[in-house]
A and B are shown apart, each in its own frame.
Chain A
Amino acid sequence: MKGKILIKSLMVIIILALSCSYVFTSVSLAREKTPIEIYNPNFKFPTEPITLTFWEIYGSRPGWLEWARKVASEYSQIHPNVKVKVREIPLKEYPIIFQSAMQTNTMADVFCMFRYRIHEWGLALPAPDWAVKIFKTQYIDAANSWQRYPESGSRKEYQGKYLGWISSELDAGQMLYYNKDMFKEAGLDPNKPPKTSPELLEYMKKLTKYGPGGNIVRGGWAIRYLGHKGGIEEKWTAFLFWWHDCRKGRIFTEDWKHIQAWDSPDFVAAVKFYQDMVWKWKVASIEMPVPTEAFKLGLAAMTNRESFLEGILKRDAPWIHYGIAPIVYGAPPYGQYKEGVWTANQLSCVWKGTKYPQIAWDFNMFLNNDKHDLEISKIAGGIPRRKANQDTPYAKSIKWLDVFKEAYRRPLVRAEEYDPYGLFGNLEDVLGDAVVTCLLDPNADPKTELKKARAKAEEILRSAIEAQKK
């Protein structure tokens, strides 16, 4: 008898537990519902079958593509009539693919892209009000400032508008990576990385090792001299901003009508310093692989890169004991400025020509709701963008959180990639050409090379301005 009562009681408890779990699940699913249903009650979610496409350009980064597919599948669970196709776009080929897609009306509804390209090609559909409200209230300030185009001089439709969320990682921009074991070996304190430009040079000299023929077998600094000239110029900019006030910009003058005085003493000094690192002080080698590889392989003691290098090091070279610090600032006799920080520059946006603007924006925000923001931050090795995730154990465990805070205390670089003529990449390469010429040739005169580059850039700009007038 007692046994039957016990079984009945157990069954009642099980049924109650199941009911409770069902209710909780429903509630949590309801909380998972996408913002459009919460903030835009007038929009009736369609019931017919819909296919959205999502293109991402970071498939090569570990875990990104799998994550995107998982989120797409979660979205289809909430909206069974919506199927999201995820496609990886190779980073090297993205311009051809995007341009072809725009011409043939086969663009993705949602995509990740560099901000200057979004601007140059006029890709994005600005965020609807409900999404803007989310950006303004639920995102940290550092993320917020990069989600719109406050300084856009040309595209009026973008001025001050939010175009998407930062899609790769929110990081501290260029950071100093240094090998702690090499520091110890050279008699340097591994917990005291260089802070100023004279210190940096002193450290480089102590850390460089030479072979019997005088060739560098371990660089004090891994220098970027290969690949796209714009990429070379970008890494060099961290040195330029010791001399040059970053708020003035490095490509255009403030009226956007001319090129900065590239042959002025500040630019010349920065190129000369870079050239001397290779040829005079011999602390950096132009025989090493690219900095990421050189640092990973233990061929260089220091370099500067974004936060993703940490993910690469964890994956490919877990034996490297490294530290991360803010990029070095200028101090006499090598420059004077402490500024020079700019951060993540890719956004996840909605294509302006999408057939489903409401649903596409809904999915775009779903990609970066609180849960997914934390997930992708962990995968990309960046700081979560949403306020709700700032106190999570993950956010607190970020090795370079202090670097990030330090970076945001410094003034941000003028966001000049939003140039009105879509010339940023081209002109960046022209400046990079002068930098790399001096890196490769000890006899190249920085002033002469920069003067030539400036003249060429002025000509390109003049032609673009004339064309725009037409």
Chain B
Amino acid sequence: MGVKISREKWGYIFVIPGVLWYGLFMLYPMYYAIILSAHRWMGVETNPLFVGLDNFKEIFTDSLFYKSTVNTFYFTFISVSLTTFTALFIAILLTKVIKLRAIYRTFYFLPSVAGVVAVGIIWTWCYQPTFGLFNRILQVLHLPPSRWIMDPRLALFCVAITQAWMRLGFNVIVFLAGLLTIPEQFYDAAKVDGASGFHQLIHITLPLARPIITFLLIYNTIYGLTVFGEVYMLTEGGPGSATYTVAYLMYETAFRYSRMGKGSAMALFLFVIILVITVIQMKFFERRTQIEY
């Protein structure tokens, strides 16, 4: 006499491992970070000291935190713009390519497969002012050399380019997948009506690609706001504090200075920022993404 389990219950049973995994490694750390943000804890004592809102007061009066926040927004703006719109442009071009599309797709996707550490090492060499690739190219073209990531004014922009390069392939693939689902008849009808390529782009492609643009904008924004690996590998926040981002400062505060509570307060701040921006983006695009073919 076996116990009969309904189909619905089986569903719940199969979901349990995922929920446990998510709860243990996502929700619990989030909950613990909220608790820690009200404590002073070096990561080694058994009893963290309750300090209320002191960690928040401290971060909001910290000039480096302010600078890191500004840097994070600047970085996100550059990285998201570069990634999203370059990827859209390439994807549109790729829709016109029929024969070697798979090869091009692989070609663009390759940087996304490489790890951030490998990418960081390669780009550090490319940017090196004395013997790096980019200055060698400028030298061949008889152009003045640049200090790239060694220049406080350029460094963050250089890091953003590196991230955009890494993320481009994934964005191209997603855009391409979306663009290829747009029915060909729309373009045929537009051509019959005498619409130019530019008009087809403005009136057909972009409106119908809006859901994918929304998705990628949100996705890339989150990725940009939480940037850490690229900064860690390329500049370690330098030169000076030129490339400090909130995530990098959070890491330094928690793990270099052993201020887990203050680091958690920063994490919470970043979480709220991401939440607000994501909600705004979703609301903004919500009305515009209802598409019916």
- Interface set of A (CB-CB < 8 Å, partner B): 95-96, 99, 102-103, 120-122, 213, 215, 225-229, 286-289, 297, 299, 422-423, 425-426, 429, 433, 436-437, 440-441, 452, 456, 459, 463, 467, 470
Contact = CB atoms under 8 A, between A and B. Distances in A.
Interface string B19-44: 00000000000000000000010111
B258 A121 contact: yes
Contact of A287 (B64, B129, B256): B129
B207 interface: no
A96 B145 CA distance: 39
A96 B255 contact: yes
A67 to B, nearest CB: 27
Given A102-B43, A226-B150, A467-B49, A436 B258 contact: no
B145 to A, nearest CB: 8
Q: When A and B form their complex, which 5 residue pairs have the shortest distance between CB atoms, in order from nearest?
A: A99-B43, A287-B129, A426-B257, A95-B255, A121-B44
Interface string B102-144: 0000000000000000000000000011110000000000001
B258 A456 contact: no
A226 B43 CA distance: 28
B138 to A, nearest CB: 12
18 contacts: A99-B43, A103-B44, A121-B42, A121-B43, A122-B44, A226-B239, A229-B238, A286-B147, A287-B150, A422-B42, A422-B258, A426-B256, A429-B256, A436-B238, A456-B62, A463-B58, A467-B40, A467-B51
B241 interface: yes
Contacts of A122: 44
A289 B130 contact: yes
B51 A470 contact: yes
Query: A-side binding surface: helix, strand, loop or mixed?
Result: helix
A103 B43 contact: yes
Nearest to B128: A289
B152 interface: yes
A437 B238 CA distance: 10
Given A121-B258, A289-B128, A426-B256, 11 more contacts: A95-B258, A102-B43, A227-B236, A228-B236, A299-B130, A425-B257, A436-B239, A440-B152, A441-B152, A463-B54, A467-B49
Interface in B48-90: 49, 51, 54, 58, 61-64
Nearest to B149: A226
Given A440-B152, A470-B51, A99 B239 contact: no
B123 to A, nearest CB: 15
Contacts of A299: 130
Contacts of A433: 64, 240-241
Contacts of B51: 467, 470
A289 B147 CA distance: 11
A306 to B, nearest CB: 20
Interface residues of B, number: 31
Residue from A286, A287, A297 having most chain B Cβ neighbours under 10 A: A287
Contacts of A423: 257
Contacts of B128: 289
A14 to B, nearest CB: 60
Contacts of B63: 452, 456
A99 B238 contact: no
Contacts of B239: 225-226, 286, 436, 440
Contacts of B44: 99, 102-103, 121-122
Nearest to A99: B43
Contacts of A120: 42, 258
A287 B144 contact: no
Contacts of A463: 54, 58
B256 A286 contact: no
A227 B258 CA distance: 19
Contact of B130 (A288, A429, A470): A288
Contacts of B258: 95, 99, 120-121, 422
A149 to B, nearest CB: 17
A15 to B, nearest CB: 61
A52 B178 CA distance: 56
B61 to A, nearest CB: 8
B168 to A, nearest CB: 27
B40 to A, nearest CB: 5
A262 B53 CA distance: 30
Given A463-B54, A467-B51, A213 B152 contact: no
A213 B256 contact: no
A227 to B, nearest CB: 6
Contacts of B255: 95-96, 99
Nearest to A294: B130
Contacts of A470: 49, 51
B240 A437 contact: yes
Nearest to A96: B255
Contacts of B238: 225-227, 229, 436
A297 B236 CA distance: 22
A185 to B, nearest CB: 19
Interface in B132-176: 144-145, 147, 150, 152
A394 B284 CA distance: 73
A183 to B, nearest CB: 22
